């Protein structure tokens, strides 16, 4: 099953449950636009590479297309389509006036110099042309990209369009540096959202974050901030893994110290204050909470059996396969789904877009307060839906999102 087929299984399950209108179901079964560009970039040694870039615009019924840009060697059409669909559901679930999109370029950013990545980003932005825009389709960071790439995209877009009114277009991307129009709190937003979300579930299920033990897969933007914020709330990090390896077996790991080490070395491998452990040992960490925050399908039928955690909260998009999720649920493990748990990123991206539009800057307290309010509202709604329908958390979250998009379609009808 490819990733889009997996997203479709999740969609169909919720659509069946709510008896989604057949017209809406047909319309939502594929993305609205699938843009593929092949663009040349000069490497530092003077040679040229032809790179493949994607922008999938899944749906814009609820507002402009919105979603991240991924740089990874395994980026492919089915993956980007799935990620774009999840963005539509995420925005609808969070009641953010955006639709869903996703993009990416198939490359390994670790094999490229800064100047090569800058040329890739600028040329990809140029190739996308007016397929993106501040009121039309608004990219953001994802795996392998960050504020640096977003500022390059913004600058390229500003140079290409609206020369006389350049600042009006800076909201063409979100996740920018604060200096270049980004929002305070955007860097930690997804990790912060994971913890705000877990707070609501903790209250519902009768536990507290303080004193919990947890482990994290992926120590990039989402994983490292989630770990550090969990630790600041009194939880203990017991193990971590990323593309370089897995570490643990050392009691509590200092999440801040590990983040500083990863920033310096590029990965968790060799961290001196923990031991290297195998992947089965990592998945089998005896902890309360598992936060997958790397790539998709890491929790699958091969790894699921090792997991002893009571709660899985999905920082990543699509980390749990359909079969693995079924087994986890059968074992009584609570799986808090991606479209809810990691929606802090798109939520603060929305705040950034609003600030840019109004030439405003919010302080961090305002950003955190608003994010907390929106995460609590959505998490509470998912728990209520799940309880009422006696379904699993993902199907409840998908159902809420689908019902909103369905309602919007029914009011508007289909052109002509």
Residue 125-144 contact track with ligand NAD, rule CB under 6 A, x = bound: ----------------xxxx
With CB atoms as reference, the residue minimizing the distance to ligand NAD is 220
Dihedral (Cα; 311, 317, 319, 323), 10-degree rounding: 90
Per-residue x/- marks for ligand NAD, 96-115, CB under 6 A?
--------------------
Q: Does 315 bind ligand NAD (CB under 6 A)?
A: yes
Of 84, 117, 197, 295, which lies in the binding site for ligand NAD, with binding defined by CB under 6 A?
295
Q: Can you spell out the DSSP letters for 175-208?
A: S--GGGTPPTTSTTHHHHHHHHHHHHHHHHHT--
Identify whether the C-beta of residue 218 lies closer than 8 Å to the C-beta of residue 315: yes
320 binds ligand NAD (CB under 6 A): no
Asked if 219 interacts with ligand NAD (CB under 6 A), we say yes
Site string (144-183) toward ligand NAD, x via CB under 6 A: x---------------------------------------
Q: Return the residues of window 222-261 that contact ligand NAD according to CB under 6 A.
A: 222-223, 241-243
Q: Which secondary-structure segment (H or E) carries 395?
A: helix 393-412
Name which of 182 and 315 has its Cβ closer to ligand NAD: 315
Q: Determine the Cα–Cα distance for residues 71 and 104; give it in Å rounded to an integer.
A: 6
- Give the residue among 220, 264, 237, 277 at the shortest CA–CA distance from 70: 220
Q: Return the range that interacts with ligand NAD (CB under 6 A); candidates 1-9, 213-221, 281-289, 387-395.
A: 213-221
Q: Exposed, middle or buried, 263 (CB in 10 Å: 0-12/13-18/19+)?
A: exposed
Tell me: does residue 293 bind ligand NAD (CB under 6 A).
Answer: yes
How far is CA 231 from its chain centroid?
21
CA 179 centroid distance within chain:
23
Active site residue 102: yes
- Part of the chain binding ligand NAD (CB under 6 A), chosen from 3-11, 58-66, 195-203, 216-224: 216-224
Catalytic hit among 66, 90, 102, 176:
102
Minimal distance in Å, beta carbon 218 to ligand NAD? 3
Q: By three-state DSSP, how is residue 66 classified?
A: strand
Close Cβ partners of 65 (under 8 Å, ≥ 6 residues apart): 57, 58, 59, 98, 99, 100, 101, 136, 137, 138
* Site map (CB under 6 A) of ligand NAD, residues 339-358, x = contact: ---x--x-------------
Q: Is residue 314 close enough to count as binding ligand NAD by CB under 6 A?
A: no
In contact, 20 and 402? CB cutoff 8 Å: yes
Which CB atom, from 24 or from 291, has the smaller least distance to ligand NAD? 291
Question: Of the listed pieces 2-10, 176-184, 311-319, 322-330, which binds ligand NAD according to CB under 6 A?
Answer: 311-319
Contact 244, 268 (CB under 8 A): yes
Residues in contact with ligand NAD by CB under 6 A are 141-144, 190, 217-223, 241-243, 293-295, 315-317, 342, 345
Residues annotated as catalytic are 102
């Amino acid at each position: 099953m490819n990733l889009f087929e997996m997203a479709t299984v999740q969609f169909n399950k919720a659509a069946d449950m709510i008896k989604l209108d057949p017209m809406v179901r047909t319309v939502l079964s594929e993305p609205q636009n699938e843009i593929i560009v092949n663009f040349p970039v000069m490497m530092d040694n003077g040679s040229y590479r032809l790179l493949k870039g994607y922008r999938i615009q899944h749906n814009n019924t609820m507002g402009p297309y919105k979603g991240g840009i991924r740089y990874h060697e395994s980026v492919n059409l089915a993956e980007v389509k799935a990620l774009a669909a999840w963005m539509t559901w995420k925005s609808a679930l969070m009641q953010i006036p955006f639709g869903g999109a996703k993009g990416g370029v198939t490359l390994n950013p670790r094999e490229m110099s800064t100047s090569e990545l800058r040329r890739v980003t600028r040329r990809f932005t140029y190739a996308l042309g007016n397929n993106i825009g501040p009121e039309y389709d608004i990219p953001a960071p994802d795996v392998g990209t960050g504020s640096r790439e977003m500022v390059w995209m913004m600058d390229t877009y500003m140079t290409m369009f609206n020369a006389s009114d350049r600042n009006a277009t800076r909201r063409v991307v979100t996740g920018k540096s604060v200096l270049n129009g980004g929002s305070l709190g955007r860097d930690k937003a997804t990790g912060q959202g994971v913890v705000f979300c877990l707070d609501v579930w903790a209250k519902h299920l009768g536990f507290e974050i303080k004193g919990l033990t947890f482990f994290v897969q992926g120590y990039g933007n989402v994983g490292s901030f989630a770990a550090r914020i969990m630790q600041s709330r009194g939880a203990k990090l017991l193990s971590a893994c990323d593309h370089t390896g897995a570490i643990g077996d050392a009691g509590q790991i200092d999440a801040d110290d590990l983040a500083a080490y990863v920033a310096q070395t590029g990965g968790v491998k060799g961290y001196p204050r923990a031991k290297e452990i195998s992947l089965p040992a990592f998945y089998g960490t005896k902890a309360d909470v598992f936060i997958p925050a790397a790539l998709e399908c890491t929790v699958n039928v091969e790894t699921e059996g090792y997991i002893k955690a009571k709660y899985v909260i999905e920082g990543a998009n699509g980390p749990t396969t359909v079969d693995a999720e079924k087994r986890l649920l059968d074992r009584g493990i609570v799986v808090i789904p991606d479209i809810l748990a990691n929606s802090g990123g798109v939520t603060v991206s929305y705040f950034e877009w609003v600030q840019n539009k109004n030439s405003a800057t919010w302080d961090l307290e305002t950003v955190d307060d608003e994010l907390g309010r929106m995460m609590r509202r959505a998490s509470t709604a998912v728990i209520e839906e799940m309880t009422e329908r006696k379904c699993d958390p993902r199907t409840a979250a998908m159902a809420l999102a689908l019902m909103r998009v369905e309602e919007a379609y029914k009011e508007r009808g289909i052109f002509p």
